Copies of this chain bind each other. A is one copy, B any other.
Amino acid sequence: MNKLTKKAIDYLKVLSAEMVSNAGSGHTGVSLGASSILFALFKDHYNFDVSDTDYLNRDRFVMSAGHGSAVYYSLLSMFGFDVSLQDLQNYRKFGATTAGHPEFGTIGAIETSTGPLGQGVANAVGMAIAESYLEERFNAIGFPVINNFTYCFAGDGDLMEGVALEACALAGSYNLKRFILLYDSNDVTMDGRTDLSTRENISKKFKAMGFKVIFVKRGNDYTACTRAIAKAKKVGKPCIIIFKTTIGIGTEQQGTSAMHSHPLSPEELKNFKAKLGIKESFFIPSDVRDLCLQTTIAGKLAHEKWNQNFAVYGTTHPELYKKLLSFFDNKKIDFEKIISNDKFSNMSMRSINHIFLNELAEKLPQMIGGAADVASSTQAYLENGGDFVAGNKRGRNLRFGVREHAMAGIVNGIALYEDFLPFDSTFLSFSNYSIPALRMRALMKLPVIDFFTHDSIIVGEDGPTHQPIEQLGQLRSIIGLNVFRPADANELAAAYKHFIMNRVPVSIVLARQKIEQTGLSSFKGASMGGYVLKNVSGKAKVVIYSSGSEVPLAVSVANELDKMNISASVVSFPCISLFEEQTDSYKTKVLQKDADLRVVIEASNDAIWFKYLNDKDLRIGIEKYLSSANGEILYQKAGFSLKQILKQILKKVK
């Protein structure tokens, strides 16, 4: 390592340490310990263009150990990204782009929000899947239009998380050759030495998963780091580089957990800087800037060269070129036409969804995805898509195995890579395995659609473990996740429309059983999230709010009430959060709160419905776990029958 490089890394370390001390919170340990790895990556390998952080073939870098944000922001600043020294000083302060953990959408370079451990690893695997998919679809001899690497920086904690282990198992199984995991192995986590909880051989574990393993004994040595990364790029399979590092290197408590989340005190910081011979604060010397600038310029040139090559590709391979240019476009979908189809009668929602998904995927090549080993049951499968496997990365169906959490994190990564419209699927009951990834998706507003089938207790014989009761409410509670529980094809179309037009996260909850057609639903109404499905003339005496599989029951109840001269309307709520976004006047009209009685019928325990009810109103829901038995029997036992509901309503109305 030459002197200037050492100097650059020293200043990088000081910047990071100062950021944390200045903020009064954060993680000095990883920022110092990982400085050589990350400087080597940024200086010599990471392919980026600061003037266009979104160009398609840029390398993807994911800081999965998001608590190391200080060193990350410092690097971004040094290499000319849109992060000023002032931004570094504002670290963790209100309104700063330099947030406590990297946040997608704040600084162009940040490819994903990280912090909750393991999520970044799954995202990065998703990005590498997206890359390899496009690579196989669009590259031609002499035209490596897509060949970027995905680098993921992860710490000990990341690689303990199940979501990361699931994702890595997939990276190995798919043989993602441009996926490089930079593992900062410092043997220390917040609570102490890792061997308190971890005595495994990570190297052998990753080999067993199909990774090439590169071991770097001196992970705080720039030269060793850059050589290892250079090697990793050539191995032609997923690669993990195990960098043995010293947490908080250069500080008095280096190598101990005391350094994990410890801001250096003024005294400690002074000593630390003195040891490195650095006096300035929040400062990057001009020779260091110039050194970094070489890389910054090289990155721009590489992008220009890529542009030129891409232009030539346009003339030599006009069809592929055209296809790629339009690949991510929104295409016009004629929903009215799809739903005018009469083949939906006497089908289950999962089967109707299968038709929708396949029709849309024909028009939208950017729809790829899969299921957590239940595609044969959820029917979330593209018939003409083929399987994405190690030997065929053109496949549009991803076989995730029984890995719900990684699945959700991976499709997040696919959506982050570029404007894909990915999907995933499992049983509603097991949606809760993936909640942390769903929350990250909502936080980043990623256009991913999931299909959660086997809705509610009517699943029956598989018993309470498979009967979702709380899951619906748990999903709805995630801020920004648009949860649809459609009653039929019209309402399902509204969910797809919302997804495709607005490119927001959408979760669709689908019944397994065949559904009854009310003939009253409306695509337009459903597009508002909630709408009057069955109206009455004049003021309704009873208004029934319902969703999904309970809507036909709600209509039957209303019809019976009508017969008794108790006029009853039915409001269907395919998506409560979308309904909440409508104007007050629309909401007032739909909710009909002036009715004598409001009734909710939904086979879940979601408390959100209380929002629309007063003390005297009635909610028919489920408040306990049921048993393993025929679903229809359970449904009756839980009170979901015309007779039982009528009885309850009449008690209230009379």
Which residues of B are found within 8 Å of A606, using beta-carbon distances?
A: 477, 607
Q: Return the contact of A204 from the options B161, B207, B440, B625 (Cβ within 8 A).
A: B207
Taking each of A203, A399, A400, which has the highest tally of chain B beta carbons within 10 Å of its own beta carbon?
Answer: A399
Among the 9-residue stretches A44-52, A88-96, A267-275, A643-651, the one with 4 or more Cβ atoms under 8 Å from chain B is A88-96
How many residues on A have C-beta within 8 angstroms of the other chain's C-beta atoms?
115
Chain A contacts with B in 565-623, Cβ cutoff 8 A: 593, 605-611, 613-615, 623
Among the 9-residue stretches A10-18, A98-106, A142-150, A528-536, the one with 4 or more Cβ atoms under 8 Å from chain B is A98-106
Smallest Cβ distance from A107 to chain B, in angstroms? 13
Taken together as a complex, chains A and B put the C-alpha atoms of A192 and B401 apart, in Å, by 10
Which residues of B are found within 8 Å of A613, using beta-carbon distances?
A: 610
Taken together as a complex, chains A and B put the C-alpha atoms of A66 and B26 apart, in Å, by 44
Cross-chain contact A461 with B100 (CB below 8 angstroms): yes
Chain A contacts with B in 425-468, Cβ cutoff 8 A: 429-430, 432-433, 435-436, 439-440, 443, 461-466
Which residues of B are found within 8 Å of A615, using beta-carbon distances?
A: 593, 614
Cross-chain contact A387 with B196 (CB below 8 angstroms): yes
Chain A contacts with B in 77-93, Cβ cutoff 8 A: 92-93
Q: Return the contact of A430 from the options B162, B209, B436, B610 (Cβ within 8 A).
A: B436
**Interface residue? A248 (CB, 8 A):** no
Taken together as a complex, chains A and B put the C-alpha atoms of A611 and B469 apart, in Å, by 18
Cross-chain contact B628 with A103 (CB below 8 angstroms): yes
Beyond the given A432-B439, A479-B625, could you list 9 further A-B residue pairs with CB under 8 A, ordered by the A residue number?
A93-B630, A95-B629, A99-B463, A100-B466, A116-B433, A162-B165, A173-B195, A200-B208, A593-B615
Name A residues whose Cβ lies closer than 8 Å to a Cβ of B: 23, 25-26, 66, 92-96, 99-101, 103, 113-118, 156-158, 160-166, 169-170, 172-173, 175, 189-192, 194-205, 207-210, 257, 261, 371, 373-377, 387, 389-390, 399-403, 405-406, 429-430, 432-433, 435-436, 439-440, 443, 461-466, 469-470, 473-474, 477-480, 593, 605-611, 613-615, 623-625, 627-630, 633-634
User: Which 5 pairs, one residue from A and one from B, show the smallest C-beta to C-beta distance?
Assistant: A162-B162, A197-B401, A610-B610, A99-B628, A94-B629
6 contacts between A and B (CB under 8 A): A96-B628, A157-B373, A196-B401, A204-B207, A205-B205, A261-B377
